[in-house]
Structure 1
């Protein structure tokens, strides 16, 4: 009988803890401490919406604040692993105010931990948990409050030296092995990211249908947010960029408070977060529904650069090959459009293209929109592997200047998709989001759908 989505997700999370334990065991074992994120005050006594730490979420699926995972890993091949959760106690009065809490007993059962305790007992139990362990795996410097608790526990263990209890000899960064794990997505993660991509694509469609001269950037942003929540995502994955006209030439523009003008382009870089996982899509389209000749030329150039990058997105190619392929197409196009002069080789060698394209062509994507994992190994770009998810996002940003044809002034275009590396090559998770000139103009010409 097929397992429920919840059962599949739990099985995947337990498997991740087992895989992490195997990595730590191969490195000599020890005890790993992974806290969730702290709650943050927005102003006075109001908090920002809580979002679990990505590492903690990856290993637990537990979304309540004030929680810590402790993983105790023996050094022998057949040694046992012990998973311990610390979380908030059941408290009926607080649940009236703040909502449901699992409490330690239910959390251990539902999320598959060997044991669970109240978070109030964490500081008292920590010296016992880390004593006589060969190594402490912890992200020192990541959270000052937890650093203090961990260092106090280490000092408490060291004070027990005369009784035969030994403190860990090494403190190692738990993020190293976890980053390597997070780079390769499992089936549950891929399914979640595929669904997040679908929701974000629908939101971009909604934004295209809504946009017209005279509306404000924040009105378009509201349409995106409406669709994200309407389809069940819990949050944006990052602050949405809704940039009309010259604002599209500001790479991380987030004011979203300007009116949209007839004849301008609108660049939208926006994605939802679903069950902790990010999507990240950028589309650029004309406010009035029709590309001008200059806008079309630059748009088709960026689209061609993305297609060249897609062709390199396959196992065995190194991470930088997508960027290099996109840059070569963009540089040649800038020469053809009269934005640059000289030869292609000289533009590539001097980096002259960076005047109009100043960022790289993508990044890892996962629990974080700029996800965990090194891009280089031993100083060399790392090879792409099945299960990795990257973005592919070339762009061209043309500010007014005396040597730039006026028809191109204030054209800012970026096209971004989320790409899963597969055994056969790649799978564009966001492929359903309209992208060609004809598809965009068709959607925006539908007067009935656009109201």
Structure 2
């Protein structure tokens, strides 16, 4: 888990603490199953860059695709990882995998198995549970396979109940419980968020200093991304929006191909990612370094609205309190 020059702020102890808190919320007699992301083919023999499923990473810190985590509160071995085995041939091409041994030694699993044993191991791990926690409808080949297997398992339990076996009492979505854990950030999470924001700020400042009429939007995007990588952020949190002129009115414009003209405003909506925590910052600047009077008037209203929202942001305030404070300022200034 090596993220940039400073390394990760969130480490194995915190992942273990998250699992303990979740298992306390699940209660005895339950099991929760989580699925990692899958590789996605780009073209030929090239895959898209892999980014782990957020929930899976939040609970395990495990970065590799094609893995399953099972939590069994109260069990002798409550945390199981089912992962791709180490493959010496693949290691030559794309690097080593953690494998079964690394799942325990590096990622703190109480036991681990090869993903090739999934069909056998998953029913064994769920034996005797009263409640199953798994999020239905996840995309990806492994998630679909796991869902089919769980449905078959529940059906078998139901049929067995007719012969005296104990049926499964409930199937629940674990995401609300995980979301509850995320509401209050730990000091390590705050550090990761601050780092993502600081790196993003450095990128935006570099882009603001470099932009000139005649450049293209993708050149500004390159400045943002080069700064992020130089600061140690290995990926963006989302595709950067770099929109000049009328393009800035398209909410999720990502083509980033247009030439930037004299007199254009340039909108940048971007964020670096650190420990899988993403910043999300929008700034609008005049491409030639000076606002027109009309541009300045609108900019000042938006800046005032931002300040009004920040002033309302405090413990105990609701989302709509902040939103409405900014909205009232915008309406007063623009309507």
Name the TM-score class by shorter chain.
over 0.9
Q: Which residue of 2 aligns with 1:173?
A: 173
Are 2:128 and 1:132 equivalent residues in the alignment? Answer: yes
Q: Which residue of 1 aligns with 2:91?
A: 95
Unaligned runs of 5+ in 2: 1-5
> How many Å separate the matches in 2 of 1:285 and 1:7?
33
Q: 1:202 to 1:262 in 2, by over 3 A?
A: same
Contact 1:39 1:65 in 2 (8 A): yes
In the superposition, the TM-score normalised over structure 2's length comes to 0.92
**How far is the alpha carbon of 1:168 from its aligned partner?**
2.1
Q: Greater share of helix residues, 1 or 2?
A: 2
Q: Which residue of 2 aligns with 1:242?
A: 242
Q: Which residue of 2 aligns with 1:292?
A: 292
> How many Å separate the matches in 2 of 1:7 and 1:263?
42
Are 2:64 and 1:64 equivalent residues in the alignment? Answer: yes
**How far is the alpha carbon of 1:22 from its aligned partner?**
0.9
> How many Å separate the matches in 2 of 1:306 and 1:249?
19
1:65 is paired with a residue of what secondary structure? coil
RMSD: 1.9
Correspondence for 2:24 among 1, 9, 22: 22
> How many Å separate the matches in 2 of 1:260 and 1:167?
65
Are 2:112 and 1:110 equivalent residues in the alignment? Answer: no
Unaligned runs of 5+ in 1: 335-339, 341-451
In the superposition, the TM-score normalised over structure 1's length comes to 0.69
Q: 1:7 to 1:29 in 2, by over 3 A?
A: farther
Are 2:119 and 1:123 equivalent residues in the alignment? Answer: yes
Deviation by residue 1:416-450 (Cα, 9 ceiling, x = unmatched): xxxxxxxxxxxxxxxxxxxxxxxxxxxxxxxxxxx
**How far is the alpha carbon of 1:84 from its aligned partner?**
0.5
Contact 2:77 2:111 in 1 (8 A): no
**How far is the alpha carbon of 1:34 from its aligned partner?**
0.5
Are 2:278 and 1:278 equivalent residues in the alignment? Answer: yes
**How far is the alpha carbon of 1:190 from its aligned partner?**
1.1
Q: Which residue of 2 aligns with 1:211?
A: 211
> How many Å separate the matches in 2 of 1:7 and 1:300?
37
- Which structure 2 residues correspond to residues 249-328 of structure 1 after superposition, within 5 A? 249-328=249-328
> How many Å separate the matches in 2 of 1:287 and 1:255?
18
2:215 is paired with a residue of what secondary structure? coil
> How many Å separate the matches in 2 of 1:328 and 1:284?
21
